[in-house]
Structure 1
Amino acid sequence: MMNKFTSLAVAGAAALAMSAPAAAEQYYGFSNVSVNYLDWTDKAEDRASFGGKKDFYYIELEGGAGFSWGDVYGFFDIENPHNLGDEDAGARGFRIATKGSIAVNLGSSNWNLYGHAYHFEDTGFSDTNVVLGTSYDYFTDFGFWFKPFIGAHIENQTFAGNGFNGYMAGWVLGYDFQMGGQKFSVSNWHETEFGRKDQFRSGADGRELDSVGHNGAVALWWHLPNSITTGIQYRYYDQKLGDANYGDALIYTLKYNF
């Protein structure tokens, strides 16, 4: 199992990603707290024969900023907070998930040195994924932005151990627009793992996952007055989350922007 030092280190990385270095010019920044409810589709729950898919709600702290040297991002999720200390809650048990990422500009180009660390912890189980590689920044003056990345993937998991686990490529993108005098945006994050090692391909129900897996979400956001944002996300995965299937869910979100 992942030791407490590593868990705290990854959580610290996410917290640092939400703070602004003093000695740098800042171009943008955001932070928010949200309440979210994730509703798996019946198909996703039925296919997860090991009982690992149950609807849940979570509280998230999120933030990011762009500077003259690069950008940072981070989030910290508390899932099923009402079941803290209940070791018999099963798939509705208390869990944490946290991520921190950093992109450092390579000279005056749009290329960056990129890295992120993601950590998930459940009762008796933890999984940490570190990606180190490169990313690219693409911004427009009409509200669209796109940040793809690719890198080597190192994983440390309770049952599979620690080691190199192939590669990960993906992106985050967004588009801001107005309609009927209201402010909206769409966003998408996506990750594709490929060249995964056999060591990390055992599914939770004993089936072997493919060497390629996908993970992501597409969202529509409505930006209301008084710093409130509400949205709906389509969450999807394929050969991921310990499940040798395709699965999906809807996430309903209400957030307050600081």
Structure 2
Amino acid sequence: MAGAATTANADTFQPIWSFGNVSLNYLDWSSGTESRTSTNAAKSDFMFVEIEGGAGFSWGEFYGFFDFENPTNSQFDESSGGKDNFRTAGKVTSHIYLGDSPLSLYAHIYDFRDYGFNGREQDQILGLGYRTTFDNGLWFKPFIGAARVQSDGYTGMNGYMAGWVAGYDFSAINQNFSVTNWHEQTFGRDDEYLEQNFVGDTAGSVGTNGALSFWWHPSSLITTGIQYRYSDNKLGTPNDYQNAMIYSVKLNLL
């Protein structure tokens, strides 16, 4: 009986799937974004190194990344007036399955730090998720939850967040490709947060954040891709749309 229990426990923590990679990325803001944000949380192109991974079990799944933005720069970059400071950003998400249903207990934490300005914001989401894969192979994982924020400007409950991650793998011209999308919609955000955590003006209560990505998998070791990054009433800039292209090369470790 003890041996059977040990085997069952090992199976519980044996991943059904997993992946991990390290990537080099370059984010190129549009000229319009740089113009629109020049006086409110000014944006500047930057390079970042990312560590990313995930794993799925019989009872739940986890995903996370950690970014080092401008990794060769000082905490405060004097030549750019602080636009090119060394920064970090990290995120962990989880779906804890609710029995055999497609529903899950969803949680995520996103943490951003700008060391040159001693700026920090951590978003904490807790709610419900859903998981489905369609017959054509498209997978879709929406969620909705209550939001809380910890930051140097405001700490407390901060409305709600709804969103999803989705992806589709396909082959063409004897090559493997995939398309992915992550999207976050925040709403009902606290008035004090909207005043304290944005530059130059008070932001609207609804915020949009996400990216649409196209990936090429030339081998099991290498993935390269291009991402369209979009945001509105987020990233410290109130009432302005922001967009960029991200160019990425990943070294797949798992």
Same fold (TM over 0.5): yes
* 1:200 partner SS: helix
Q: Which residue of 1 aligns with 2:47?
A: 57
Secondary structure at the residue paired with 2:202? Answer: coil
1:122-173 deviation line (CA, Å, top 9, x unaligned): 02100000000010001135321000000000001112x2100000000000
In the alignment, what sits opposite 1:231? 225
Q: Which residue of 1 aligns with 2:86?
A: 94
Higher Rg: 2
Equivalence for 2:72 = 82
How big is the shift at 1:23?
3.3
Contact 2:15 2:56 in 1 (8 A): yes
Q: Say yes or no: does 1:26 pair with 2:15.
A: yes
Aligned counterpart, 1:163? 156
Please give the TM-score of this superposition, normalised by the length of structure 1: 0.88
Distance 1:97 1:118 in 2: 7
Asked if structure 2 preserves the Cα contact closer than 8 Å seen for 1:24 and 1:69, the reply is no
- Residues 184-224 of structure 1: CA distance to partner in whole angstroms, max 9, x if unpaired? 00000000000011011136432111110100000000001
- Map residues 10-49 of structure 1 onto 2, 5 A cutoff: 23-48=12-37, 49=39
Q: CA deviation at 1:24?
A: 2.8
2:200 equivalent among 201, 206, 220? 206
> Normalised by the size of structure 2, how large is the TM-score?
0.89
Find out whether 1:178 has 2:171 as its counterpart.
Answer: yes
CA deviation map 1:40-76 (0-9, x unaligned): 0001000002352000010000000111001000101
| Contact preservation (8 Å) 1:119, 1:127 | yes
Q: Which amino acid in the other structure matches residue 254 of structure 1?
A: V
- Residues 34, 22 of structure 1: CA spacing in aligned structure 2 closer, same or farther, 3 A cutoff? farther
Indicate the SS of the match to 1:108: coil
- Is it true that 1:190 corresponds to 2:183 in the alignment? yes
Greater CA deviation, 201-210 or 183-192? 201-210
Stretches of structure 1 that go unaligned for 5 or more consecutive residues are: 1-20
The secondary structure found in structure 1 opposite 2:32 is helix
Distance 1:99 1:225 in 2: 27
Residue in 1 that maps onto 2:63: 73
Match of 1:18 in 2: none
Shift of 1:242: 1.2
Q: Aligned pair in 2 of structure 1 residues 158, 110: CA closer, same or farther (>3 Å)? A: same
**In structure 2, the residue corresponding to 1:133 is in which secondary structure?**
strand
Whole-angstrom distance in 2 between the partners of 1:185 and 1:164: 36
| SS of match in other structure, 2:16 | strand
Identity %: 48
Report the Cα distance in structure 2 between the residues aligned to 1:24 and 1:143, rounded to whole angstroms: 26
Q: Is the 8 A contact 1:45 1:51 kept in 2?
A: no
Equivalent residues of 1:143, 1:175 under 8 A apart: yes
Verify: 1:257 aligned to 2:252, yes or no: yes
Counterpart amino acid of residue 255 in structure 1: K
